[in-house]
Structure 1
Amino acid sequence: MKSLRAGISFFSTIRAGGEFEDLTRNLYIMPAIGAILGAIVGMAGYPLSLYGLGFLIVVVYLGVEGINHVDGLSDFFDAYFAPESRKLKALKDLNTGTGGTVAVALYIILLTLFFTRIDPARVVPALVLSQSLAKQGMLHLMLSSRPLWEGMVSEFVRHARRRDYASYAVTLSIALLIGMEFLQQTALSLAAYLLTLLAMKVYADRRFGGINGDVVGATNCLIFLAVIGVWACSP
């Protein structure tokens, strides 16, 4: 319970108590934390979806999760569009460039369109699964890639253990429960997760030589976007 509270406090704007060490000793619970946050956003977003207020659902999502991951998305795309010789420097740069600004704008626009389009009956399961998979993707990178430098991610990597791959049991359990009612959307969500995670891992390892907080935060955002897109666009 302490680790869940610590995880909610760390990955959202909700102050639930717990210590950072409680989380790092039990990283396998990250998908469960994502599911809890998704349920909170989903329950708040459901009445908004009845009126097609997609942008307000995005506001709720950002209000609950905060903007740290979106900031990572911005920094990642600044580095993505930088010349090969300046990619790492761009990743360290605290200033936001054109690439990052455009990426964040597109992210907000696409999420707004998806939440406006999504069937209200799907809002809660879509958010629970997308947040669970987003946190699973973050953890997978921290378990399988090396940190570029000292920072928050290196602290997570230092505490990560093979047993934390048990997180996939949590994620698949959540997916199976949701898949009992929404089989097609769940299967496509898992495919979107795998493709997005693979693309991010291959790119980060080849272009940067590892990961940092920006790469992990961007992965969270892109998996979340991809899965929400699946739920919004599937019949």
Structure 2
Amino acid sequence: MNSLLLALQFLTVIPVTHSFTASQKQLGQSVLFYPVIGLLIGCLLAASSLLLVRYSISTQAVLVLILWVAITGGLHLDGLADCADAWVGGFGNRQRSLAIMKDPAAGPIAVLVLVLLLLLKWSLISSIIEKQALSVLLLTPLLGRLAILMLMSTSDYIRTGGLAEKLIANLPQGAVNITIFLWLLITVFFLGILALVAVFLMIFIIRRLANKRLGGVTGDVYGATVELVEVSILMSVLI
């Protein structure tokens, strides 16, 4: 239970009133619940869409998107913004890129990327709602968080210190592999093979770019992965 609460506390702004001290093992096991938290987010998105059915599709999409951002506290958008600034402002230099990613200030490139991504996401959500494909809203956040597990399992984490390093150091790799396999097996029946292709392709591209520029991944890269994988899934199911 503590591992689940840790995942909920880390990935959302939902208050966790239960007080506990997590062990290193529980910290690593919390990663296994990331897809579950994604499913919870998806349930809230799908439910909100149903409750807003009297509004226009455009309005529904805006409100669903606002909820999507609000429930995570913009955590993953922050990672995407940092990566955007680093990739443009780093000029191909590893140390400069890493330094930019640690800078809390958002540059013009970060703002531009976030605006474009949110506009694209709003447009895609509108189409999803119009097609009444609520299973897409339900499962896209799940796959977005599952992508973190997939990247953790295949990439070196290069930041020293912090929560992510402790998570990866205590990662139950066997359980992670089973978790990834089972969730992919379940979601392919609802979203189709193209959605999974989109997930794997986006992770491959991000991993390749991160390894080339940084020599591995960071927490910001995980955040960017969630956002880009989610958009890729939304696009793939509309093909």
Q: Please indicate the TM-score interval, normalised by the length of the shorter structure.
A: 0.7 to 0.9
What are the equivalent positions in structure 2 for 1:1-235 lying under 5 Å apart?
Answer: 1-17=1-17, 21=23, 22-48=26-52, 51-52=56-57, 53=59, 54-82=61-89, 83-85=91-93, 86-120=96-130, 122-149=132-159, 150-163=161-174, 164-176=176-188, 179=189, 182=190, 185-231=191-237, 233-234=238-239
Larger deviation, residues 131-140 vs 2-11: 2-11
TM-score between both structures, scaled by the size of structure 2 = 0.86
More displaced stretch, 8-17 vs 198-207: 8-17
Q: CA deviation at 1:120?
A: 4.8
CA pair 29-166 structure 1, distance change in 2 beyond 3 A: farther
How far did residue 26 of structure 1 move?
A: 4.2
**Superimposed CA distance per residue, residues 124-151 of structure 1 (whole angstroms, 9 cap, x where no aligned partner):** 3112221111111111222222222222
Shift in Å at residue 76 of structure 1? 0.6
Alpha-carbon offset, residue 171 of structure 1: 1.2
The separation in 2 between residues aligned to 1:187 and 1:147, in whole angstroms, is 29
Gap regions ≥5 residues in structure 2: none
User: Which shows bigger deviation, 161-170 or 95-104?
Assistant: 161-170
Task: Give the Å deviation of 1:173.
Answer: 4.1
User: Could you say what secondary structure the match of 2:14 adopts?
Assistant: coil
Give the CA RMSD over aligned residues.
Answer: 2.1
Q: Which amino acid aligns with 1:208?
A: L
Q: Do the aligned residues in 1 keep the contact of 2:149 with 2:180 (CA within 8 Å)? A: no
Consecutive unaligned residues of structure 1, counting only runs of 5 or more, are: none
Task: Give the TM-score taking structure 1 as reference length.
Answer: 0.87
